[in-house]
Structure 1
Amino acid sequence: MDYLEKHVKWVHQKEYLDNLKKSLPNHTLNFSHKHVCSICSSTFKCKAHLSIHMHEVHPSAPPRRLHPCPICARSFQYLKNLKNHCQRWHNMSVVTRGGHLSCADCGKSFKATWGQGRHLCHEPDEAESEDKPICLDTGVQCSQCGKKLRTPQSLEDHMRTHTGDRPFICKDCGRRFGERSSWRQHMKIHLGEKPFKCEVCGKAFIRSHHLKSHLTTHSGKKEYSCPECGKEFGFKSSLDLHVRTHSSERPFHCHVCGKNFNTRRNLRVHTKLHNNEKAHKCGECGLEIRDLGALKVHLRTHTGERPYHCTVCGNRFIRLAHLRNHQRIHSGERPYKCNECDKSFTQSGDLVKHKRIHSGERPYKCPDCHRCYTSSGDLGKHRRSHTNLRPYTCKECGKTFRLSGHLKTHMLTHTGEKPYSCPNCLRRFARSHHLSGHVAKCR
């Protein structure tokens, strides 16, 4: 193809295709952009969707490994990958000759050798004894925790769980990832790509396991149940996380302050406290938040959105966890019990705070006035008195408040509601402390 034809093909594509259609028979051209499955003839808009379909619906055996490593038990489909592996992981001086690997120093061929340990130069091919041990130990072991990984690349990814290194950064929201696969999955959020669709209700999902979890809402099949409270889950991983709420198991350790957490995500959010990392800022009140998911939930306090509603009493909630905790009011369930006084709670966090009454622990200290609190939430509310942050605004008169409870009480002045009544004279009050002052006099 000369330079003129290349120029026409790439710069004037429409004209090039028109000329090509005229010069060739119709049956020889197929300008359809659909990708067709060779097994079931299903069509897809893009090649990525076809690949996902082939992996999910028509799984096939892995490709045959043609080139085994002469030192360890690994094998490779391509000779170049085997050469790179020997040079990188075994420090071997090797070359490719005649479709197989050979030693660059002594010329020994590794065509028929596999897993026979360290190579010694100038050892003749016939010198290999029949009872020489063969390495059957597949995988690479982590020196930190002893876990075995299938490939050296998997080991490199796994080591980031110990080092905390997260080299893959999302350019849209700044979130960091330790694995490239997790980063690619996250990018689908910004692209709006949701390839996994529920055939029952049409809802689409980014990940296949999200779809599987969603399908349990239609089938009602949840095969994993908690032995403590009987709560059912569709996945064992979800059950394992839930079981930790009943036990004191907190396997994820902060190396800076020594605090332990029951999930990796909670540890990840906590480490940002030490790094002073606050990547996201609320455009309404200026509050800086370390986690993107937490920012999305926080914005509901300004928009008034409460997507989770109770089917029993109709109450609506900002968080799904708040709805689940609320539903225990109707069921009477209090799964979290104190070992000191047998008091029980609907939320695990309330039990943790309650235990500090017995221990006297107040771990959250104000850096401005050095007052101490039993919970981070109480400290956050107190610090607004120093910063004068008033995130709760009355839509009727524009007055702002530091606490949501103060806003709720203020709204009674607009609605005229007086929920607190005197048991002696039945006089009603808008505020509880007004009632307390009245009852002391009305006897």
Structure 2
Amino acid sequence: MRNWDPDDEAAWEAGGRLVARRNLILSILSEHIGFSVWSLWSVLVLFMSPETGFGFSAGEKFLLVVVPTMVGAVLRLPYSYAVTRFGGRNWTVFASAVLFVPTLATLYFIQRPGTPLWVFLLIGATAGAGGANFASSMTNITGFYPQRLQGWALGLNAGGGNLGVAVVQIVGLLVIATAGSTHPSYVVAVYLPLIGVAALLSALFMDNIDTVRTDPGAQREAVRERHTWWISLLYVGTFGSFIGYGFAFGLVLQLQFGSTPLEAARLTFLGPLIGSLARPFGGWAADRWGGGRVTLWAYIGMLAGTALLLVASARESLGLFLAGFTALFVLSGIGNGSTYKMIPVVFGLGAEREVAAGRDATRAFARARRLSGAAIAIAGAVGALGGVAINMAFRSSYASSGTGDKAFWGFLAFYAVCVVVVRKVYPGSARGGRGAVRRAGT
């Protein structure tokens, strides 16, 4: 579609809204399945025991969770660029169909006891493509919606995708509850037809729009913007926490409290579920009160939630432990939405300053939209690496002390740094995001 301009209110009301909504729904579907495939190993490790022929250690299981997280983070930048090169519809079809590779490989080898760890690590690496789907999806949807609605639209898109983490864990729970903990292939098999459906619907009903086709230098330009890196740091703490805790939660329950696979599966989906549902609220709240303000309070709450985990660990209280993790999932979900909303606001304010200085408004705001898409990709990639750090911190903490306390102290310190960053750089003192950044140049 050429000459797409979501900020043209007449065109938006005349049919643009329906086009954007259709693409958003299908984008959510594709991203949701991508997140589920990305998260498969957070469920499959619960099945891996000597009884199933996979007697991997706790450290090896954390590696199986870390590898797809890391690869998904690294692939986010090329995936974001690819959607600008090939078009939103075209790339969504590819990004959905390519998920057949890790799913079929996992289905084959998970039924063969004695398969060495390195084979599963390679397969887990290919599952990282599911996590990269997020970057191309978010870049695409940014182009469909006017700035005033981007917080809500991006929140829905990301939240619907993030729900894939919870849904695959619910599938795992149902399999363990009905068939026992010796049939991990059942979990994998559920997603084969869904991948085909997502690819087909994307091919039939999504659109390519010219505003998404940015020049290849957009990411290089965004790298030079200091706010790209401040927001990336904040996204490490929000999305990195969400995906890191979501992938590790089941293993942490087994190691910290000796939970059985069924007991762990009954609890692991709750955190990602409520965190995903909280993300659109974070985008909406940022639209109304400013991304900086919402993100600040999210981080303050995450400090309190982490402190509660340390208390729960000291008292060996499962109830307090679950309460602390629940708070972290909710607040990281809110922070995900509010942090992403800050990106178009930052570059939009930069465009306003350029117009005030005499630059052509069309060019200035086109540049702002281009940089927003590129910054979203960079922040998404860097943020996902936070999930790698969380799982590596847990692996080291449990290996050295048998508890997660050392990891929790590290998370507490990082969240404190993020509070300082938000307070100093993004006060978020005005409604709807206006004033959410200081009037210094971007």
Structure-1-length-normalised TM-score: 0.19
- Greater relative CO, 1 or 2 (CA 8 Å, sep 6+): 2
Which of the two has greater strand per residue? 1
TM-score, normalised via structure 2 length: 0.19
Higher helix share: 2
